[in-house]
């Protein structure tokens, strides 16, 4: 297994700009289930007000796979206008390569810092086909760099360290969004690819991810607890492990309840109760929570407010 650093030059300035915390933006809907541009603008402003200056748009949290290509492009456009100087990563993953390419081109046209993509899902694909999918996205991205989105629990695709090394060697790939509990692999990636961008993907393991080599993170609950995660990052940088652990534990108490009621609908309900978005509506088949099904989220929203 050859884990030496790839020879391909990397756009290090982009990787450095993206080495931060990024909110995985939700997509607000109106009562009819259509994208609410007004709520999306307020959510973007809300995230910025917490100090989070990175935006990961159209991913799992944003329900991207439940939207049409036109809807996804419109969401990219709205966030690009509202995020201002904030760092922007557009998730362009799709079942069909041509859709992923259209989304990648759209992000490039809008000036996104990078695109990102889960592997193609549902149909079984050989690894060579998956590598080809990423190469095709790069061909369409007009020089906008690509971040591999490794999320084995949801994609069903298991990337070995060799696989990730091969993907990192592709010209234009600058890093990995590592939504995996495998912190050993995170450390191996950092050790083998010291210049790569590694973004931790599980909010409940941000402290572990940063300690294992991640130089940033992407998180759903950054939408409501952004200040906490920034404070945790500061504690770690200062060597205050106990302080960082206390903050992670406080975040995880909220995450425990979100997991119990269903994470994405729960996040929508919290933002609705906080007055950031107009409805808690999720796109079916995802659930939409109500006051009778939200568990302890009313209490948590009051505390977060």
pLDDT for res 157: 87
- Mean pLDDT within 122-146: 96
177 as an active site residue: the answer is: yes
Altogether, the residues listed in the chain come to a count of: 305
Record the tokens describing residue 12, joined without a space.
């290090």
What is the chain's mean pLDDT, rounded? 95
pLDDT at 298 exceeding the cut of 50: yes
149 as an active site residue: the answer is: yes
pLDDT tens digits, 44-83 = 999 999 999 999 999 999 999 999 999 999 999 999 999 9
Q: What is the pTM assigned to this prediction?
A: 0.94
pLDDT for res 297: 98
pLDDT at 12 exceeding the cut of 70: no
pLDDT at 119 exceeding the cut of 70: yes
Which of the residues 56, 149, 229, 272 is marked catalytic?
149
- Mean pLDDT within 18-41: 98
Higher per-residue confidence, 5 vs 117 = 117
Which of the residues 48, 88, 177, 235 is marked catalytic?
177
- Mean pLDDT within 145-161: 92
pLDDT for res 149: 97
pLDDT tens digits, 219-275 = 999 999 999 999 999 999 999 999 999 999 999 999 999 999 999 999 999 999 999
The residues, ordered by sequence, that sit 6+ positions from 254 with a Cβ below 8 Å of its Cβ are 221, 224, 225, 300, 304
Confidence band for 128, pLDDT divided at 50, 70 and 90: very high
């Amino acid at each position: 297994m050859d884990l030496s650093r790839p020879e391909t030059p990397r756009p290090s300035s982009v990787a450095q700009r993206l080495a931060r915390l990024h909110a995985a933006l939700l997509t607000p809907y109106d009562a009819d289930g259509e994208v609410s541009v007004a709520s999306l603008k307020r959510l973007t402003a809300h995230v910025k007000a917490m100090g989070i200056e990175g935006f990961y748009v159209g991913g799992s949290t944003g329900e991207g796979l439940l939207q049409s290509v036109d809807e996804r492009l419109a969401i990219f456009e709205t966030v690009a206008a509202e995020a201002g100087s904030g760092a922007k990563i557009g998730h362009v993953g799709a079942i069909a390569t041509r859709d992923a390419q259209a989304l990648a081109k759209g992000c490039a046209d809008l000036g996104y810092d990078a695109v990102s993509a889960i592997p193609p899902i549902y149909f079984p694909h050989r690894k060579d086909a998956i590598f080809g999918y990423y190469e095709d996205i790069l061909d369409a991205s007009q020089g906008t760099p690509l971040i591999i989105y490794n999320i084995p629990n949801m994609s069903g695709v298991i990337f070995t360290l060799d696989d990730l090394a091969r993907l990192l060697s592709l010209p234009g790939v600058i890093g990995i969004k590592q939504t995996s509990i495998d912190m050993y692999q995170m450390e191996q990636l950092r050790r083998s690819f010291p210049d790569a961008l590694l973004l931790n993907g599980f909010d409940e393991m941000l402290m572990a991810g940063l300690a294992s080599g991640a130089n940033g993170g992407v998180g759903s609950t950054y939408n409501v607890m952004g200040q906490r995660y920034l404070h945790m990052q500061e504690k770690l940088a200062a060597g205050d492990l106990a302080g960082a652990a206390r903050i992670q534990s406080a975040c995880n108490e909220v995450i425990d309840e979100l997991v119990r009621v269903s994470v994405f609908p729960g996040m929508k309900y919290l933002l609705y109760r906080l007055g950031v978005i107009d409805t808690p509506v999720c796109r079916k088949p995802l659930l939409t929570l109500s006051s009778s099904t939200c568990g302890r989220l009313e209490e948590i929203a009051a505390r977060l407010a």
